[in-house]
Amino acid sequence: MKSLSYAQEGAARMQQIVQDLRSLTRLDTADLLYVEVRAIVETALRLSGPEVARHVEVRVDLEDVPPVIASESRLCQVFINLFVNAVQAMRDRPSNERTLIVRTKLADDVVGVSVTDTGTGIDPAHIARIFDAFFTTKRTGTGLGLTISRDAVQSMGGRIEVESVPGRGSTFTVWLSTRSPVTQL
């Protein structure tokens, strides 16, 4: 029975890997429109709700920012991935020390959305590899979430930055342009 369970789990993981790899190639520049960041962040929080709301305190500080050039569905996927990763990074913390903070900011013609957690942080030896395909330090996971998120943001003309302090937490910031045509940031 254990062998069957392991086989089913392995098959499910392989299916997820294939779906993740397919999503790497799906975005067409025709999908890019002006979108409201606040609405996308709020949707992503709702969709990741059970994983996020049940386990951490969520603080949202969304200042008014102009629309950005993006794919609404792909950007929502990026935020869901960042929210879930943040929650997972805080699992070993006492419940009263688990905080997820989402903020927006405007700098020139780009909008930044930062996702900060009070988790364990990222080991400095791993920071350069976190966006590499199949790299993971988790017991379960494909190591594709951050790769797909980075590639999606780059295909929208943006970038993702990460700052982390081991033992204190991490901040991922997604930067997207407010101007068309889309240019690499």
Q: Which of 26-30, 111-115, 156-160 has the lowest mean pLDDT?
A: 26-30
Q: What's the pLDDT band for 183 if we cut at 50, 70, 90?
A: very low
The yes/no answer on whether domain 2-177 falls in CATH 3.30.565.10 is yes
**Continuous H helices in the chain:** 2-23, 37-47, 49-53, 72-89, 124-127, 145-155
| 35/141 Cα distance (integer angstroms) | 30
| 71/119 Cα distance (integer angstroms) | 29
Q: Which residue in 166, 72, 65, 167 sits closest to 125, CA to CA?
A: 166
Q: With 80 as the cut, is the pLDDT of residue 129 above it?
A: no
pTM (2 d.p.) = 0.78
Helix (H, G, I), strand (E, B) or coil at 150: helix
Question: Which letter does DSSP use for residue 31 in this model?
Answer: G
| 162/146 Cα distance (integer angstroms) | 11
Burial 41-72, CB ≥16 within 10 A → b, else e: bbbbbeebeeebeebbebeeeeeebeebbbbb
Q: With 70 as the cut, is the pLDDT of residue 7 above it?
A: no
What is the mean pLDDT of the segment spanning 115-130?
Answer: 84
Residue 129 CB burial class (10 angstroms; 0-12, 13-18, ≥19)? middle
What is the mean pLDDT of the segment spanning 28-46?
Answer: 86
Structure tokens at 175: 């930067």
pLDDT tens digits, 48-90: 877 677 789 999 999 999 999 999 989 999 999 999 989 988 9
In the chain, domain spans: 2-177
